[in-house]
Structure 1
Amino acid sequence: MTKLFASLLLAAAILPVQAATLQPEKSDLSFTFKQMGVPVDGKFRKFEAQLDFDAKKPEAGKIAFTVDLGSVSLGDPSFDKEVAGTPWFDTKRNGKATFVSSGIKPTGPGKYDVAGKLTIKGASRDVVVPITLASGVAAGSVAIKRLDFKIGDGEWADTSMVANDVTVKFKLAFSGL
């Protein structure tokens, strides 16, 4: 019985203390890219996040994030239909993008680098996402290369029309954090 009790105490000590719940109505996920040198803003309307985090042990934290690629909006229904199509997000075959953390490193008060794997259209890349955490809100941005994820295949792979660089910005509000 003592070994079981000791094992349970050890497990409790290494597990994240707080599981937080995403508040989608207070959260935002957007992106910016350039088309013919002009910035274009878009957003995703549907996404989910799971966060287990203890500020005293951030290294033990875990973050998982899923985006419904079919919820993309560039502000015009015809553009939204185009970007959901095969050359871009191909939402019929690749409806979700995911990020799963592999490590959280504190970089300053309320600041963290979250390393993990980003997967879009079946292509996965290791990324590090700088995050600021304050008052239950995780915010930040990360630059990605769209062609690394096969976004904009075929004629759209030409970066003179649509730039390869995309900045993804987020503000995720959590309760219980």
Structure 2
Amino acid sequence: MFKTALIALLAAPAAWASDWVVDTDASTMTFETEAFGGPVSGEITDFEADIRLDPDAPGDGRIEARAGVASVDAGSSEFNDPLQSRAGFNPEAHPDARFVSTAISEVMDCEAEPPARCFSADGELTIRGETRPATLDFRLAIDGARATADGQLVVHRDDFGIGGSAWGDAAVDVTVNIHIEATEAP
């Protein structure tokens, strides 16, 4: 029995093995929202993702992404200081935001130009220790062993306890824009 279990364990694929290796130099994660009556945008520079996705079998896919919240930069201390405070992301207590897909499906009615295709990844988003359902919609184009994906995920900051009473003029919704370039894993 032990020998059978050991053989099964060794033959099983790695739990978080990636079919795609993210090219972090070519990939970006940005965000946009509104505060004090005007647009606010910025970038998140510390992020990574494990991606297993065959566009012809998206239901077998999985996306697990991590973003270091201390790397969120809105371009000025006026916005960065509240974001990095205890009322904001509180990076000392909760250093990462995480998205883990639970289902990926192709979206047939989309605006992608061929050969790109559209997908939707339903999953769970965890920020500040709170986990909520979230959806990452993305367009994917594959050229040989190189993939490019552009997507959006809307974060309702109130769902995660982000923002204090002084954040009254800040919009509740934040759109996270993701541009990922990846190569097929060997």
TM-score range, shorter chain: 0.7 to 0.9
The reply on whether 1:149 has 2:160 as its aligned counterpart is: yes
Supply the distance in 1 between the matched residues of 2:77 and 2:154 (Cα, whole angstroms): 26
CA distance in 1, matches of 2:90, 2:136: 25
- Distance in 1 (CA, whole Å) between partners of 2:155 and 2:70 is 19
| Map of 2:138 onto structure 1 | 131
Matching residue of 2:173? 165
The Cα of 1:38 is off from its aligned counterpart by 0.3
After superposition, the CA RMSD in angstroms is 2.4
Deviations 1:16-51 (A, max 9, x none): x97111111101111111112201001101101000
1:70 counterpart = 2:70: yes
Name the aligned partner's letter for residue 49 of structure 2.
A
The aligned runs of 1:47-66 (5 Å cut-off) are: 47-66=47-66
Identity of aligned residues (%): 28
How far apart, CA to CA, are the structure 2 residues paired with 1:24 and 1:164? 29
Unmatched tracts of structure 1, length 5 or more: none
Name the count of aligned residue pairs.
165
Structure 1 residue ranges, 4+ long, deviating more than 4 angstroms after superposition: none
Distance 2:67 2:93 in 1: 14
Q: Structure 1 or 2: larger helix share?
A: 1
Paired residue secondary structure (2:159)? helix
Deviations 1:57-102 (A, max 9, x none): 1110010000000011111256423311111110110110000000
Tell me the TM-score normalised to structure 1 length: 0.84
Query: What SS is found at the alignment partner of 2:171?
Result: strand
Unpaired runs of at least 5, structure 2: 109-115
Please give the residue correspondences for 1:55-134 in structure 2 after superposition, counting only pairs within 5 Å.
55-77=55-77, 79-108=79-108, 110-134=117-141
TM-score, structure 2 as length reference: 0.80
Structure-1 separation of matches of 2:170 and 2:79:
14
Separation in 1 of the partners of 2:40 and 2:87? 18
